[in-house]
Amino acid sequence: MAASTDPSPLRKPQTQQGFSDIAEGASIDPADVARFSAQAAEWWDAKGPFAPLHRFNPARLAFIRSRLAEHFGRDPKARDAFEGLSLIDIGCGGGLIAEPMRRMGFDVTAVDASSENIGTARAHAAEQGLDIAYRAATVEQVEAAGAGPFDVVLVLEIIEHVADPEAFLRTCSRLVAPGGIMIVATLNRTLKSLALGKIAAEYILRWVPAGTHDWRQFLKPEEIRTMLEGEPFTVTGPYGLNFNPLSDRWSESDDAAINFMMLATRD
């Protein structure tokens, strides 16, 4: 479902000129890109292969909205609460985060290495009347094109799928504007995450297709801190996100043994 041009005259921020719709870069893991590309048309099917992500999304959005409102001094309940601020969603998939961020008022750029994902995301955003600058690109291409800097850089559930996590994260960090913030979300490399985040999720509960994750690529919070050493950031977290089977809901938690988020604020 790839598209070489936008299906509607969506706004193109000045920072996006020079992007190519062919994604290449050192951070790319071709096998993971191919896996998600094969499912691209199903991103917005709440009962399809991305159903667990749809259920997870409200907790992610609540966390992101509250932390960004606090950081920028905005009212999270206000319409267009983040108007005037720029945001880039790296590894945006079908746009499940990019669209609500645009509705909150952010000027949104969203990139993904899969042109199939971008085609799906563009088409859905056009149907919703949302002007989001989607590009099939790697974070290296974003930097090389001179894009940004951005007030907010989102790196959500993508770092565990790249070939060189440290190089990838450092490149992402260079896109953050002074006083801006980067939010990283991933899976912890613990025995609990192996049992529940990998084996149970893929082979018992069938929440995601088998092979979606490689537990060896999960990252510990202290590893993310180490990756950002020497960069002008204050890193906080981890903040856990846990699933309650009784309420069938995700929520923020003190337990970061499986899913967690970290904040990196540029000094």
Annotated binding site for S-adenosyl-L-methionine: which residue ranges? 60, 91, 112, 156
| Cα gap 10→74, rounded to integer Å | 27
Quick one: which of 223, 32, 122 has its CA closest to 108? 122
| Cα gap 15→149, rounded to integer Å | 9
- Binding-site residues from annotation: 60, 91, 112, 156
| Cα gap 29→163, rounded to integer Å | 5
Tokens matching residue 175: 């896109």
**Cis? peptide before 149, omega within 30° of 0:** yes
DSSP per-residue letters across 192-230: HIIIIIIIIIIIIS-SS-TTS--GGG---HHHHHHHTTT
| Cα gap 106→86, rounded to integer Å | 6
- In one-letter notation, the amino acid at residue 144 is A
Place of tokens 């790249």: 162
Tokens matching residue 61: 């959005």
**Cis? peptide before 7, omega within 30° of 0:** no
Q: Which residues are 112's β-sheet partners? A: 136
